[in-house]
A and B are shown apart, each in its own frame.
Chain A
Amino acid sequence: MAKNIEAIDVNVYYSSFLAVEDINMEIEPNAVTAFIGPSGCGKTTFLRTMNRMIETIPGGRVEGQLMMNGENTLAAGVDPVAVRRDVGMVFQRPNPFPTMSIFDNVVAGLKLNGERNKSTLAEVAERALRSANLWEEVKDRLDRPGAGLSGGQQQRLCIARAIAVSPDVILMDEPCSALDPISTLAIEDLITELKTEYTVVIVTHNMQQASRVSDTTAFFNIAGVGQPGQLIEMGPTQKIFSNPDEPATEDYISGRFG
């Protein structure tokens, strides 16, 4: 079930360095939200606070509240591992597990957490691979290594792997930046399909991609090197790309800087 997300006064630190300052935003369920902005502006950092991956980096620390359907995932006592089961993530570079077959890769999240029932695993694998538009291409070689697929297929495999644990939210960190245009198209189509079931948040450097796939766009920026990243403007994608309120947003989108 897709969940809505609300960030309230979120500050992210690496040790004492404030990387992202004062984020307040609301992310709609069953929609695609794109984060855009220049490198180093905190898009990825904020994305990683949403599944608490930021804490796996030594020194990474978050203040504020991140409500998921009204529950604060940043509250003391909330198990980050449990949050990550609800919030899946797809990374910049495809990262299938090299020791595992295609099948094992897809069901890794279940299998590593102790699911042994073969028919359940087979069912989940097929469903996830179908949702990731990969089933037809790999159904005859599920026992082959996942690392043997092409880059685009590997990325869809990683999406299938994220879907297989039935999350509520899927985070994507520049999922197409390592892919060719055809694979990119396949993933973009997939993103559009995914929003029927999930809340999708995508970080991208590609303006066209943001305008093609997203319903809402959030623009992040930094005032200068060493300054924290901030959310400058957020709104319907169409508005952000045609008639943004902030001049900085317009400058960035029209390519005047960044």
Chain B
Amino acid sequence: MSIKTATPRPPTRVQHTLKPISRRRLIVDQIARWLILAACVLALIPLAWVLFTVVTRGIDLVLSVEWWTQSQRNIGPRDYGGGAAAAIQGSLIQVGIAALISIPIGVLGGIYLVEYKEKKLVKPLSFMVDILTGIPSIVSGLFIYALLITTLGANRMGFAVSLALTLLMIPVVVRGTEEMLRIVPNELREASYALGVPRYLTILKVVIPTSISGIITAIMLGIARIMGETAPLLILVGYTSSFNANPFSGEQAALPLMINVERGNPLPPGQDRAWAAALTLILIVMALNLGARLISRYSGTKK
């Protein structure tokens, strides 16, 4: 009986030696790294610059109580004093109404496009949303002007602005909701169906809770988008320095309009107010974002 010995491996295989990384790769690696870093810094410079300028020029007024409580009523272009409260109120009312209309339409539209994708309407609808996404804000403003004011004979008012903003916000919310629902794994829907849960309950209690934080983010993106829109405001509502809480009648102030009006004032008080109004706009959008993050942190997927 012979004992099997290990036969040596036939020397047909190419011998690989362990070499250091080639010089060429090291150099390319370094160049690529620095390019990426440079691109990143370049992209951040304007952002930091804008923030720095707006904050340094606007912070004084924004820190005063008067700014948040008073309007510009009876304040002349040469005078300091008064505040942006009328514009803040107007902006919140206009954007608030637009959000109230857009959120249900946008979220429900997104749900339809994803959860009912076997329906024939989905393709044309999706195409329309694409088109709507590309509409310039001035066109949306002119459309509402033509519809509401020229055709139906209404007066220029805050509500008309809300409608124009709605046109701009809906596609953002639809697309955002759509993306978020699409990343919900199909297995979860199947698990729910397999338990004898009907489709509408599956959507309401499984799909939406799983993606709620993403949907809230989509809504916030939509609000951030319309908060600073100026073109529809210029067309659809007159500026006033006084308070007007009624979106259905009369002139109504708004932050973008205030910035625009004060920008036209060459005197220092006006310049200061323009910067402060810009900072206020940024702060409001930021506050809304933080609020949304808090809400989405305490809802949705458990970790």
Tell me whether A10 is interfacial, beta carbon within 8 Å: no
Contacts of B118 in A (CB 8 A): 58
Looking at B189, B193, B206, the one whose CB has the most chain A CB atoms below 10 A away is: B193
Among A82, A84, A98, A145, point to the contact of B195 (Cβ < 8 A): A84
Q: Is the CB of B303 within 8 A of A97?
A: no
Complex Cα distance A165/B300, Å?
24
Q: How many residues of B contact A (CB 8 A)?
A: 25
> A53–B193 contact, CB under 8 A?
yes
Interface 1/0s, chain B 244-260, versus A by CB < 8 A?
00000000000000000
- Asked if A145 and B197 make an inter-chain contact with CB atoms under 8 angstroms apart, the answer reads no
Closest to A89 in B: B194
Q: Contact: A165 with B195, CB < 8 Å?
A: yes
Number of A-B contacts (CB under 8 A): 80
A158 to B187, CA, bound (A): 12
Which of B187, B197, B209 lies in contact with A91, CB distance below 8 A? Answer: B187
Whether A51 pairs with B194 at a CB distance below 8 angstroms is yes
A119 located at the interface, meaning its Cβ lies under 8 Å from any Cβ of chain B in the complex: no
Ordered by A's residue number, 21 sampled pairs between the chains whose C-beta atoms are within 8 Å are A53-B190, A58-B117, A81-B197, A81-B198, A84-B193, A84-B195, A85-B195, A91-B191, A95-B187, A95-B190, A97-B210, A99-B210, A99-B301, A108-B192, A113-B196, A113-B201, A145-B302, A145-B303, A147-B301, A161-B191, A161-B195
Instruction: Give the A interface residue count (CB, 8 A).
Output: 30
9 A-B pairs with least C-beta separation: A85-B196, A109-B195, A145-B302, A89-B194, A95-B187, A58-B118, A84-B196, A99-B209, A98-B301
Residues of B within 8 A of A81 (CB): 193, 196-198
Q: A92-131: which have CB < 8 Å to B? A: 93, 95-101, 108-109, 112-113
Q: Which of A71-88 contact B (CB under 8 A)?
A: 81-82, 84-86, 88
Q: Are A56 and B196 also in contact (CB < 8 A) when A98-B302, A112-B205 are?
A: no
Among A97, A100, A145, the most chain B Cβ lie within 10 Å of the Cβ of: A97
Q: In the complex, are the beta carbons of A95 and B196 less than 8 A apart?
A: no
Q: Is B185 an interface residue (CB 8 A)?
A: yes
Chain A contacts with B in 1-58, Cβ cutoff 8 A: 51, 53, 56, 58
CB of A71 to closest CB in B, whole Å: 16
Residue B284 CB within 8 A of the other chain: no
- Does B195 contact A97, Cβ atoms closer than 8 Å? no
B188 contacts the other chain (CB 8 A) = yes
Query: Could you tell me the distance between the alpha carbons of A51 and B117 in the complex, rounded to whole angstroms?
Result: 22
Smallest beta-carbon distance A9→chain B, Å: 25
CB of A134 within 8 Å of the partner chain = no
Given A58-B117, A95-B187, A95-B188: A113 touches B197 (CB 8 Å cut-off): yes
Nearest A residue to B302 via CB reads A145
Known: A53-B194, A112-B195. 17 other contacts (CB 8 A): A81-B193, A82-B196, A84-B195, A85-B196, A88-B194, A95-B185, A95-B187, A95-B190, A97-B206, A98-B188, A99-B206, A109-B195, A113-B196, A145-B303, A147-B301, A162-B194, A162-B195
Please, which residue of chain A has its CB at the minimum distance from the CB of B206? Answer: A97
Give the residues in chain B near A82, CB-CB below 8 Å: 196
B206 x A112 contact (CB < 8 A): yes
Report the separation of the CA atoms of residues A23 and B67 in the bound assembly, to the nearest whole angstrom.
Answer: 78
Measured CB to CB, the nearest residue on chain B to A92 is B187
How far apart are the CA atoms of A112 and B302 in the complex, in Å? 18
Instruction: State whether A93 touches B187 (Cβ < 8 A).
Output: yes
Type the 1/0 row for B138-159, where 1 means its CB is closer than 8 Å to any CB of A. 0000000000000000000000
In the complex, are the beta carbons of B201 and A112 less than 8 A apart?
yes
Contacts of A112 in B (CB 8 A): 192, 195, 197, 201-202, 205-206
Complex Cα spacing A53 to B303, Å: 30
Instruction: Select from chain A the residue with minimum beta-carbon distance to B194.
Output: A89
Closest A residue by C-beta to B191: A95
Q: How far is the CB of A250 from chain B (nearest CB, A)?
A: 34
| Chain B residues within 8 Å of A108, by CB | 192, 195, 197
Residues of A within 8 A of B189 (CB): 56
Residue among A88, A95, A109 with max Cβ neighbours from chain B (10 Å) = A95
B163-198 residues with Cβ-Cβ distance < 8 A to A are 185, 187-198
Q: Chain A's nearest CB lies how many Å from the CB of B303?
A: 7
Q: Distance in Å from the Cβ of B46 to the closest Cβ of chain A?
A: 39
B193 & A97 in contact (Cβ 8 Å cutoff): no
For B205, the chain A residues whose CB sits under 8 A away are 112
A1 to B295, CA, bound (A): 45
How far is A194 from B38 in the complex, measured between Cα atoms in Å? 63
Find the residue from A99, A100, A161, A162 having the highest chain B CB count within 10 A: A99
Complex: A51 Cα to B198 Cα, angstroms = 13
Across the interface, name the chain B residue whose C-beta is closest to A145.
B302
User: What is the distance, in angstroms, from B209's C-beta to the closest C-beta of chain A?
Assistant: 4
Tell me the nearest residue of chain B to A55, going by C-beta.
Answer: B193
Kindly list chain A residues whose C-beta atoms are within 8 Å of the C-beta of B303: 145
- Knowing A85-B196, A108-B195, A113-B197 are in contact, say whether A97-B190 is a contact too (CB < 8 A): no
Docked complex: B184-239 residues within 8 A CB-CB of A: 185, 187-198, 201-202, 205-206, 209-210
Please give, as numbers and ranges, the residues of chain A lying within 8 Å of B197 by CB-CB distance: 81, 108-109, 112-113
**Quick one: closest A residue to B198, CB to CB?**
A81
